[in-house]
């Protein structure tokens, strides 16, 4: 059971006092005890204050996984600021947008992204200083050690945000979900109970820290006093090796990584007997991949469904449902609501509950909910009702046993390899292509990534389209994983009487004969 922490500074102080010499974080050859972690966080708090950061302001991190990102998140929790962790897979214009949208005053950059930061530097209007993290030109450690520990804690209200993760928006631009002390602590309690995680657990964090499957999962472990074993990148064979070497008990993956892990030579010969819970989610998992992984990791797999706006997980399909032939139909469900979470299916137009088994929009209510979208009050009001229900934008239904089936996305979102992609982002770019008169982007099945974006276009009179040119056009303006690999050319796009494109009709041929599963 997780102690009743009042906020994440209280969490750090609690474990530094109770378990000062126990491991809190392992990263390669680096091992930080709880007392050492607390000392570093207090020094970073002093450095942030010396840089003039005021409560309510933001910093940003652009890096692969590194302890500094988590340390900075806890330092922000201490001084009342927030860490906006940037998705490093974004294209430079998107990275520029996120940093400027957050009004980040300090930018922390890993070696792999120093060139991008330099390229964008003059257009990052709020950034006062760029601090390089790691590598031969590291500035982070000298910056940290130059300050004496500052143990003063800004009094945090339950709804104060200390972490800002960006989720793509229907307008074509990402939105910053403000994750709060209260919401993240509620998520930690609920997920730790779901996974039976505690201080003696050994938790692997392989997913990127810009994702709730990275930072949020790390904070679940820390809230319970468990050490985390952080990976810079989730290379499949290295992930498997760590499971065995470090006797990992708990972990979280996306299906694309699991598919690659199952193909690693000798994967089935390793000892994973310490593993107690392996959660996976964030994109569809093909049933052949699921069967291979159940064989590789018997008795421990938990499918989860969640969203950044709810701090992470809201439902779970437990190990027993993965391996019981009598309920094999549940493998295409997202499981049942975890403790502390309410789920209803509502009519998306009226907001009224629909009968069991009938389709509608999935609504979620819990203490885990975000504080809102940074700087976007209208989007916040549209997403969260006055009585606390979050409108997920996902379509689906509930069965008589309370299992959630996520069958479509009301907001047309595509989830590819665990990454959220809104077609509007891609359509915004493709609409500028000189050969394209009209465009719609849909998600189509993919055995590796779950689904990938595909463009359906109407050409201008006399124009021709080279698929390679289309991909090149997109890659200059979007992250690679968002780029359609090809386009279908049609005479016209199907529309309803008001002119709205009927994407359901466009998707039908690709999804025919499949049970659509979104996790």
Determine contact, residues 43/144, Cβ cutoff 8 Å: yes
**What pLDDT is attached to residue 170?**
42
Mean pLDDT of the chain: 93
Three-state DSSP class for residue 261: helix
**What pLDDT is attached to residue 332?**
84
Dump pLDDT digits (tens) for 221-277.
Answer: 999 999 999 999 999 999 999 999 999 999 999 988 999 999 999 999 999 999 999
Q: Return left, alpha or beta for 478; rule: phi > 0 is left, psi -120 to 50 is alpha, else beta.
A: beta
Dump pLDDT digits (tens) for 134-180.
Answer: 999 999 999 999 999 999 999 999 999 999 999 864 446 789 999 99
What is the average per-residue pLDDT within 348-354? 92
Nearest to residue 87, comparing CAs of 194, 24, 173?
Answer: 173
pLDDT band, residue 408 (cuts 50/70/90)? low
- Concatenating the DSSP letter of every residue in 306-366 gives EEGGGTEEEEEE-HHHHH-GGGGGGGGS--EEPTTEEEEEE-TTT-PBPPTT--EEEEEEE
Widest CA span in the chain: 73
Residue with the two structure tokens 């003063």: 152
Determine contact, residues 251/243, Cβ cutoff 8 Å: yes
Which CATH superfamily does the domain covering 416-511 fall into? ANL, C-terminal domain (3.30.300.30)
CA distance linking residue 261 with residue 272, whole number of Å: 13
**What pLDDT is attached to residue 517?**
46
**What pLDDT is attached to residue 515?**
59
Domain ranges of the chain: 8-152+160-398, 416-511
Instruction: Please give the CATH topology (third level) of the domain spanning 8-152+160-398.
Output: Rossmann fold (3.40.50)
CA distance linking residue 300 with residue 248, whole number of Å: 12
Contacts for 480 with CB less than 8 Å, ≥ 6 apart: 89
**Can you give the pTM of this predicted structure?**
0.86
In order of 71, 77, 239, the CA distances from 43 in angstroms are 10, 13, 32
Asked whether residue 117 carries a pLDDT value surpassing 80, the answer given is yes
CA distance linking residue 512 with residue 436, whole number of Å: 27
Dump pLDDT digits (tens) for 15-60.
Answer: 999 999 999 999 999 999 999 999 999 999 999 999 999 999 999 9
**What pLDDT is attached to residue 247?**
98
Determine contact, residues 190/86, Cβ cutoff 8 Å: no
**What pLDDT is attached to residue 167?**
87
């Amino acid at each position: 059971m997780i102690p009743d922490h009042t906020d994440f500074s209280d969490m750090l102080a609690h474990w530094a006092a109770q378990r000062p010499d126990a491991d809190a974080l392992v990263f390669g050859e680096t091992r930080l005890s709880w007392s050492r972690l607390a000392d570093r966080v207090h020094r970073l708090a002093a450095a942030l204050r010396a840089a003039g950061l005021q409560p309510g302001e933001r910093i940003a991190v652009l890096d692969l996984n590194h302890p500094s990102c988590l340390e900075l998140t806890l330092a922000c929790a201490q001084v009342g600021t927030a860490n906006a962790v940037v998705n490093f897979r974004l294209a430079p214009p998107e990275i520029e947008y996120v940093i400027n949208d957050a009004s980040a005053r300090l930018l922390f950059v890993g070696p792999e992204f120093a060139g991008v930061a330099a390229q964008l530097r003059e257009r990052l209007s709020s950034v006062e200083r760029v601090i390089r993290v790691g590598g031969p030109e590291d500035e982070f450690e000298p910056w940290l050690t130059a300050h004496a520990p500052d143990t003063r804690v800004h009094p945090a209200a339950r709804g104060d945000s200390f972490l800002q993760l960006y989720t793509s928006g229907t307008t074509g631009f990402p939105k910053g979900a403000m994750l709060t002390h209260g919401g993240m602590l509620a998520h930690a309690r609920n997920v730790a109970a779901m996974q039976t995680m505690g201080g003696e657990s050994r938790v692997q964090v392989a997913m990127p820290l810009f994702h709730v499957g990275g930072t949020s999962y790390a904070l679940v472990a820390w809230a319970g006093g468990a050490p985390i074993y952080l990976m810079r990148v989730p290379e499949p064979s290295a992930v498997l090796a760590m499971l065995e070497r470090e006797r990992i008990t708990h972990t979280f993956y996306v299906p694309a990584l699991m598919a690659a892990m199952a193909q690693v030579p000798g994967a089935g010969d390793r000892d994973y007997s310490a593993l107690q819970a392996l959660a996976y989610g964030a994109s569809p998992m093909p049933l052949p991949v699921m069967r291979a992984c159940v064989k590789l990791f018997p008795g421990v797999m938990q499918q989860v469904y969640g969203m950044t706006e709810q701090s992470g997980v809201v439902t779970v399909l437990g190990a027993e449902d993965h391996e019981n032939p009598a309920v094999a139909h549940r493998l295409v469900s997202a499981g049942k609501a975890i403790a502390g979470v309410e789920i209803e299916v509502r009519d998306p137009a009226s907001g009224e509950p629909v009968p069991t088994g009938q389709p509608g929009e999935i609504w979620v209510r819990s203490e885990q909910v975000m504080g809102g979208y940074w700087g976007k009050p209208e989007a916040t009001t549209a997403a969260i009702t006055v009585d606390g229900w979050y409108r997920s934008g996902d379509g689906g239904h509930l069965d008589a046993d309370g299992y959630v089936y996520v069958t479509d996305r009301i907001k047309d979102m595509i989830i590819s390899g665990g990454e959220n992609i809104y077609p509007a982002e891609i359509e915004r770019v493709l609409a500028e292509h000189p050969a394209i008169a009209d465009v719609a982007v849909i998600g189509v099945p993919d055995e590796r990534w779950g689904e990938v974006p595909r463009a359906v276009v109407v050409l201008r009179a006399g124009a021709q389209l080279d698929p390679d040119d289309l991909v090149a056009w997109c890659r200059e303006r979007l992250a690679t994983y968002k780029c359609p690999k090809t386009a279908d050319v049609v005479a016209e796009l199907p529309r309803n009487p008001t002119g709205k494109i009927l994407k359901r009709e466009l998707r039908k041929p690709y999804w025919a004969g499949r049970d659509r599963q979104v996790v």
